Amino acid sequence: MKLSVAIPESSLSDESLKIDKTRKISVLARACAIFKIETIYVYQEGNNKQDGSLMVMILKYLETPQFLRRRLFSKVNDLKFAG
């Protein structure tokens, strides 16, 4: 059975600092990994698109094996606190 989760991008709106947003995304990703969620959908809710793109970027970064991260992701300020 394939499990999927949909997360609104507004779930990060209560956090103001980027480190807190990154920590919240990491907790969500860990919970999804524990419960063997195969697909995570991030949907737009509200008008803050920066949180959604941050969430997608960090989730893709966390999904990537560590030995490939340097080759696939350039140094970006959004990934400063990830992994």
Separation between Cα atoms, residue 64 and residue 1, nearest integer Å: 23
- So where are the chain's domains? 4-79
Instruction: Kindly give the interhelix angle for 49-63 and 18-34, rounded to the nearest 10 degrees.
Output: 50
For the domain 4-79, what is the CATH code?
3.40.1280.10
pLDDT tens digit at each of 83 positions of the chain = 899 999 999 898 888 898 999 999 999 999 999 999 999 999 988 777 888 888 998 898 888 888 888 888 878 777 767 76
What is the predicted pLDDT for the residue at 83?
65
